[in-house]
Amino acid sequence: MERSSEGERSGGGGRLFQRRRPCRFCVDKMPIDFKDAGLLRNFLTERGRIVPRRISGNCMRHQRELTVAVKRARHIAIISFAEER
């Protein structure tokens, strides 16, 4: 079996490393407000779950603030706990 030097490898086969995107709240210096339902819905799935930090690109501090804001908005019925089917 001959190996080419073009960069083809056998085995390993994981995903390519992609650069982490910067935190949206750190870059824009925007506050997280539990009354802003439009902003909070960007970080929820169709089923109503909070999008994890590794997917949303938030830093740890802002992800925690976002989680608290979503829970507050759910508690006072600004956003629903789950979408209707």
Percent of the residues in the chain that have a pLDDT greater than 90, as a whole number? 64
Which CATH number characterizes residue 64's domain? 4.10.640.10
**pLDDT tier, 2 (very low <50, low <70, confident <90, very high otherwise):** low
Q: What is the pLDDT of residue 18?
A: 73
* Within-domain flag for 48: yes
What is the tally of structural domains in the chain?
1
Q: Is residue 83 part of a domain?
A: no
Residue 60 lies in a domain: yes
Domain around 29? 24-76
pTM: 0.74
The answer to whether position 5 is within a domain reads: no
pLDDT greater at residue 16 or residue 61: 61
Residue 34: how many CB atoms within 10 A of its CB? 20
The answer to whether residue 10 is domain-embedded is no
**Is the pLDDT at 22 greater than 60, yes or no?**
yes
pLDDT higher than threshold 70 for residue 16: yes
Residue 33 falls within a domain, yes or no?
yes
CA 56-49-51 angle, to 5 degrees, is: 5
Alpha helices, H only, the chain: 24-28, 37-41, 53-56, 60-75
Instruction: Decide if 69 is inside a domain.
Output: yes
**Residue that the structure tokens 């209707």 belong to:** 84
